[in-house]
Structure 1
Amino acid sequence: MIEGWLTEGQAARLEAAAARSRPSGAVVEIGSFRGKSAVVLARAARSLIAIDPHAGSDRGPQEIGADAARGDADFEAFHANLESAGVADRVRHVRKFSSEAHADVTGPLSLLYVDGAHRFGPARSDLHDWGVRVAPGGVMLVHDSFSSIGVTLALLVECFWSPRWRYVGRTGSLAEFERVVDGPRDVGAWLRELPWFARNVVIKVLVVAGQRRWAERIGLDPAAPWPY
């Protein structure tokens, strides 16, 4: 089993998005960690560009700072997991930060999966700079939506009022958006997610405060360290 935070339900949503008909363009993943989502995307889409610097930074909750040894271990595990799953020949790994990798990907994107740094600044840059490259009719999926504060704020700034994105729905914290041309702004769909977001914020505060028992009482999965 590959280590990672993608649930079975989220993997199914990711697989379905990658398998369905889409406009021409690359399938790009930002944030690969040890390959759990990359395997799903490579199997369904048959070709994937995976962007991850494997610097040991922003690799999980409360693991923000860079750590070269940790990053190299993730890099080795990532490629070993691709080999074990039989998809290594379908994945091109770009070992760079997403902000530095644009020249490594040519043309438009048909699918973009964003699971990179969850801080507001990097998350907003990924959504804006890579999202603008998704072709009309393409799809963008964002992990830790309405769960991570930084990612959620970035989504609100970049997608909430944007006529380019139609909110399709979510599986847990994996949100799906369709790239459209001057579409209607479905504010109601976003507002319906705010109570779930507020619940997740409270859960995270309780976990950090050492009150996990209370976090589980309001919905945290006992088997999960954080709400996903």
Structure 2
Amino acid sequence: MTPSGPPTAPDFAATLADVADVEGWMTDGQARLLWDGARAVPDGGRIVEIGSFRGRSTVVLGRAAAPGVELVAIDPHAGNDRGPQEIEGFVDEAAQDHEVFNANLEAAGVRDRVTHVRAFSDAAHAQVPDPIDLLYIDGAHRYGPARADIRDWGARVTEGGTLLIHDSFSSIGVTLAILRELFLGGHWRYVGRSESMTEYRRERLGPKARVANAVHQALELPWFARNVLIKVLITVRLGRLTRLLGHDPSTWPY
């Protein structure tokens, strides 16, 4: 990453180039969703990110948000849930993630505008005031933690606010949490997705709108089944067969 700090006028293309070497799981299209969501937050608003890892998405949010917008990054940097198939915590990885995270923010020129809450998301509520205008969830992908993040943090998003969820219709735990909390709910309208990053808007939905919203999300389930099959094939060392599904076998679907 170039240590020259952000451009005078934040630029999406330049930011993409600056985070290209930052480890993480974020496509260009997903970065665009984060960028546009952060740009839409009004001055004095608040962005909350759950799951920062080494700061790739945090830099995009920090570069895009207006100077008067607060950006809170919640990540325990405990060495666990760092990526695909990683659950257990490791002390060395935790310390390294924390150090690299701060270095990447510093190099991007956004360190001073990010409030890092080094805690698990379920223990961080008291450290983050209401309301939240943009909530980005990319924390633990197991069903229980993912559901709690969507339910408890989502309830704190202001009317008209935005919810972005990574690994939707890709991770089994995250998808089950979405089905439980958002599929038939009356408070979140499904906007769409960029690969596995979904976008929801906080709105009150009547009965007909709720049915239409459920159908819109149900149309993503075949894509979810495809991603699960790809992960199974990669896990059992048959990744080359994923080419038949239009997937690059050297990458994990996200």
Amino acid corresponding to residue 253 of structure 2 in structure 1: P
- Give the TM-score taking structure 2 as reference length: 0.87
Match of 1:5 in 2: 25
Deviation per CA, 1:32-78: give whole Å up to 9, x if none: 00000000111112431000000000111111001111011000000
Does the alignment pair 1:103 with 2:157? no
Q: C-alpha root-mean-square deviation of aligned residues, in Å?
A: 1.3
- Give the TM-score taking structure 1 as reference length: 0.96
Match of 2:98 in 1: 75
Task: Give the counterpart of 1:27 among 47, 68, 79.
Answer: 47
Deviation per CA, 1:147-177: give whole Å up to 9, x if none: 0000000000000011100000000000000
Q: Distance in 2 between matches of 1:10 and 1:39?
A: 13
**Aligned pairs (5 A) from 1:1-228:** 1-21=21-41, 25-46=45-66, 47-183=70-206, 184-185=209-210, 186-224=213-251, 226-228=252-254
Deviation at 1:90, TM superposition (A): 1.0
Unaligned runs of 5+ in 1: none
Amino acid corresponding to residue 145 of structure 1 in structure 2: S
Deviation per CA, 1:90-128: give whole Å up to 9, x if none: 100000000000000011100000000000000000000
Q: Distance in 2 between matches of 1:220 and 1:68?
A: 34
Please give the secondary structure, in 1, of the residue aligned with 2:63.
Answer: helix
Shifted more, 99-108 versus 174-183: the winner is 174-183
Q: Percent identity?
A: 57
Which aligned segments of 4 or more residues in structure 1 are displaced greater than 4 angstroms? 21-24
Shifted more, 45-54 versus 126-135: the winner is 45-54
Q: Distance in 1 between matches of 2:169 and 2:78?
A: 26
Match of 2:16 in 1: none
Unaligned runs of 5+ in 2: 1-20
Deviation at 1:182, TM superposition (A): 3.3
